[in-house]
Structure 1
Amino acid sequence: MTETKKYVRIKKATREAAWYVDKIGKVFEVELVGPTYLIRTGPNHLSAIRKEDAELFVTEKRPAKVGERVLITVAAPIGEQSYETGDVFVAESLYDPFTKDIQVLGMPDFIDYNEYEVIVNSEVKNEEADGMKIDLNAMGYDELIAHGEDVIRAIRLRAYGEGYRQGKFDAEMDYTHGQAPIVSAQSRRDEIVEQAKADVERLKETNIRLRTFNISLEVNRKDRSVEAIAKRPKSNRAFYGIAKATPDDCFNVHIGKAIAIRRALGLAVPDEYLNAPQPTEVRVGDVIMPSVLKKNTPRKVVATDVEVDAIANVCCLDSIMATNNATIIDDSREEVIGE
């Protein structure tokens, strides 16, 4: 079962002598709940917060789903971030299913998994759980307005989540003649390569942003391998990760970089990286081993290749591959796409 935590945000200080009178808007983790919220303010000291002075959040430490609210519990000290500890956002998308980072509504930055917890309660639910009936007639004007805004916000969040789930359901029901659309091996490999490219950039960016590791990559095309080195700033300590294509696999530098970086950082390597389908279509820039060339001599296929007339016309590459029993041994195509 997922562990839950409780946090309170200071909304007001009913008594001028309250210790938190100058901490309006701040968020604290709750250690004990009784007549008041008790938080730790010292190694051997608990301080009380009146319940009417605070907003309670019950959270779970897990990846956020689209439409769920998240509480920033530990904002990373990156200087230029546009959010801080105590902020509440709505998850818009799961930025990375492996590191569990998310993007949120109204925020251009992505939020690291270590910075947020998922909110699983609301003020209305808290009151109902405590056996308290909401008496609208007893509320003052300002309190009534604030309560109405919370209700409207909750309705919007629920509608957003329901709309996402319905859209996902509709997409899953998009069948062709009663069967799921067939995705070719080449299309799936293309998707994995693009995923790996984004993964590498995101992991490098995250480590720069959080100042955890300086990451360098060394590609050995002869050995068909990639080595990642993750070194801690101002330290000689370093971690290494290696990815090497098997003799029967087509080497792709982007997948290799993603695998190597994840191994260096001690992160799980997605199964699709390790078991990506082999390419079935030749593209300009692929390295192939066709029988029309000298045995064991790889040749980069380009549109201007004049040594092998049969491969000069890119639109005919697939048929040439088939008739000459050629094999794609590297589909990185870094020079072609200008990387």
Structure 2
Amino acid sequence: MTETKKYVRILKAPNKASWYANKIGQVFEVERDGCTYLIRKGPHHLKAVRQEDAELIVTEKRPAEVGERVLITEKPVRKDYEIYEPVTVDNVNIYGVESYKNGRPIFLNHYEYEVIVNNEVKNEEADEMNKMLVDQAKTVFERKDDKYFGYKSRLGDIVIGGAYSYAFVVHYAKTNEDVVIIPGDVNTVTTPVCTTEEERLWKPEKTAQERRDEIVEQAKADVERLRTNNRLWRTFDITFDINRESRTVEAAAKKVFSRTAFYGTAICAPDDCFNIHIGEAIAIHRALGLEVPDEYLNAPQPTEVRVGDVVLVDSMKNIQELKVVDDGEYIGTGEYKAALTSIAVTKNLIRIIDDSRTEVGEWL
């Protein structure tokens, strides 16, 4: 049975003397609920929150699906997100989920969130915003399962109560303004759809692997550009020290004709996939005192195994690191390799731990 939890977000307080008067907007896990919500504030201490003063959030501990809302329950290292912040899932892979904030993708491991299954008390401001969107829209569809039903039409070209396909709604939203979709899940906010947002809302997003590929290529170009410019300007001589065992990359920027040097280090997180090119880009930015682009710090994890990758597999109950080789390459006895289509990769894969592929000339 799926584990569920309850949280409350403080919306208001009855008076200034209330213990949660200065905690508006904060989220607390519910110990028990009844006429009030009881919040644990110590080993032997519970405090009450009036139901009318809080929004109840019910969660399940399971992998999320695209479109679901999740509540961050582990303090993320990514500066854009905060613990107990609800976010919408845009992409899912075996390692976690991705969401967007301010137009930037950020990855969450599965252990860092819980899936929101019900908001029993809705935020009054969100309710008012949803009502305003529906009232002002020219056309409104309501989604039920895989169908979209006509809900409102000022233009007269939508049959109220008529069922429409996803393809029709996509085309209609792209060619008309002020179109609103009411999601089938009544606990999510109404989603405004208009021509100015069509690329974000309807165009298929790139996969996590495609974005990672782009980020790696960007990192390679960044490193080459910074090294070339410093060589031409005779500012710094840049070198790298790569340690695959410790999964670190150190950049040294040494002043020409001087003993002065500046250093920058990139350390791969234990659960992340190590990539030399991304590590070099992070390290060289730090060595030169430049701001590290967020895409390098929050690159999505790889989802496709390719020749040259180092993978972690569960083989005969033994965890092994194997390098992926082409199906036609001789593996040999005692060598830690696995063919691309071998059972180790296709069935026993735990995760990709290094996708640098520095020995492979071109990506496959």
Bigger proportion of residues as helix: 1
Q: What is the TM-score with the length of structure 1 in the denominator?
A: 0.46
Which structure: larger Rg?
1
- Normalised to the residue count of structure 2, the TM-score between the two structures is 0.43
